[in-house]
Amino acid sequence: MAAAVEMAVVAAMAAKVIESIFPQELASSLASSIASGSWNHGWRSNTSMGYGHWNQDLANGESWNGLDVSRSLRGPFKEAWDYISSVHLNKYRLIRCYANAHTHGVEGYPHTDSIRKDDLTLVCYLNREWKREWGGETVIFEGDNISMAQLPKFNRGILFHGADWHCARGVSRICPELRQTLMFKCAPEGIDLHRDALQKLLNTFGAYFIKHRNGVLTRHLMATYDLLKRSGQPDGVCMAGGAHSVFGTSTFKEVCIDRDHRQTVEQAIGYNALHLVDLFSSIKRAHQLDAYAGQNGAWLELFNGGNVSVSKIELDALCMIECANLFDQDELGQWPRLSQMWKEANS
């Protein structure tokens, strides 16, 4: 059954319901542990919405994480993941694990858990009693239509792609319970070794502790990598995008990795990617890239003086990196040629 469920979800991209996801004793232990845990309010599944809900982060895995965090789990949560990985999701790694809770007036909003097409989300319901009058369905969308809606029945699991739009509907005013769900976010083991190497590099040099717009530098760089990967760019361009500002740039002055460590960077991302990072960190942008986007090469002005000649291949790569960089920061719209280039790449 486990292999059949896993392969069906990956191949058909359809959500699957798994009844009795855990042995009964383990499900009861999980319900008790979550109910007695410390809830924090303000967690937002959709950051564009101004309202959050209750949450317990159980593995300290951020939204951009792609590395295994299962060693951070304790007690029944570690036991639950060991069971899931052996019975339902063999050859997957755990990249996030947390619990959510909703009361009346605390709503969920449509969102995706990942832009990476191979990531999976497993939602487990842990309320021992639930009535249909209480609402609280998990809704999965296909465009503007609902493809699945499931009430939070005790010990039921829903497995779907993290890139699928979904939300937790609000509970009704007559509901006396705290709607509790346990989430396991997973990725196929070894699915993207380049991404693993990039994240390990950023972890080594403390990019997590460097502030960047909308969060920290690690979040921005991993998002840039993921956006380029999703748009079908070559591995070297994706890796360069994921490291584009580690040496600082004309607009981002914070240096994450000193150039004395260039060899370490090259070992992680490759020579060609390092060359693009060197270029990206040295030129005046984004106005130059927008001006020359789509041309057969260019002479680009360096922000410390002088110029550099780039080929069409290099120019296209630099433009795509800038597109992903600006898109993640909601700034791409002010650059018409780059916006068009990004639109065509993602069509």
What are the pLDDT digits (tens) for 89-114?
A: 999 999 999 999 999 988 888 999 99
User: What per-residue confidence (pLDDT) applies to 51?
Assistant: 75
For residue 3, give the 3-state DSSP assignment. helix
Whole-prediction pTM value?
A: 0.90
Instruction: List C-alpha distances in Å: 173 to 50, 259, 296.
Output: 21, 59, 62
What is the DSSP secondary structure assignment for residue 169, as one 8-state letter? P
According to DSSP, the β-strands at 211-212 and 215-216 are antiparallel
What is the DSSP secondary structure assignment for residue 106, as one 8-state letter? -
Taking a C-beta distance cutoff of 8 angstroms, is the pair 246, 174 a contact? no
Q: Report d(CA 134, CA 269) in Å as an integer.
A: 51
Q: Across residues 74-103, what is the average pLDDT? A: 95
Paired tokens of 184: 């396991």
What are the pLDDT digits (tens) for 4-49?
A: 444 444 444 589 999 999 999 999 999 999 989 888 886 677 676 6
Counting every residue written for the chain, the total comes to 347
For residue 182, give the 3-state DSSP assignment. strand
**Residue 2: is its pLDDT beyond 90?**
no
User: Over the chain, what is the mean pLDDT?
Assistant: 92
User: For the chain, how big is the Rg over CA atoms in Å?
Assistant: 22
User: What per-residue confidence (pLDDT) applies to 316?
Assistant: 98
**Residue 141: is its pLDDT beyond 70?**
yes
Q: Confidence band (pLDDT; 50, 70, 90) for 60?
A: confident
**Residue 323: is its pLDDT beyond 70?**
yes
Q: Of 132, 283, 120, nearest to 186 (Cα)?
A: 120
Domains of the chain plus CATH, in order, are 2-188 (2.60.120.620), 193-345 (1.10.3210)
User: What per-residue confidence (pLDDT) applies to 109?
Assistant: 87
Q: Of 131, 178, 166, 125, nearest to 17 (Cα)?
A: 125
User: What per-residue confidence (pLDDT) applies to 43?
Assistant: 66
Does 164 or 4 have the greater pLDDT score? 164
User: What per-residue confidence (pLDDT) applies to 197?
Assistant: 98
What is the DSSP secondary structure assignment for residue 286, as one 8-state letter? S
User: What per-residue confidence (pLDDT) applies to 63?
Assistant: 86
Q: Report d(CA 276, CA 268) in Å as an integer.
A: 14
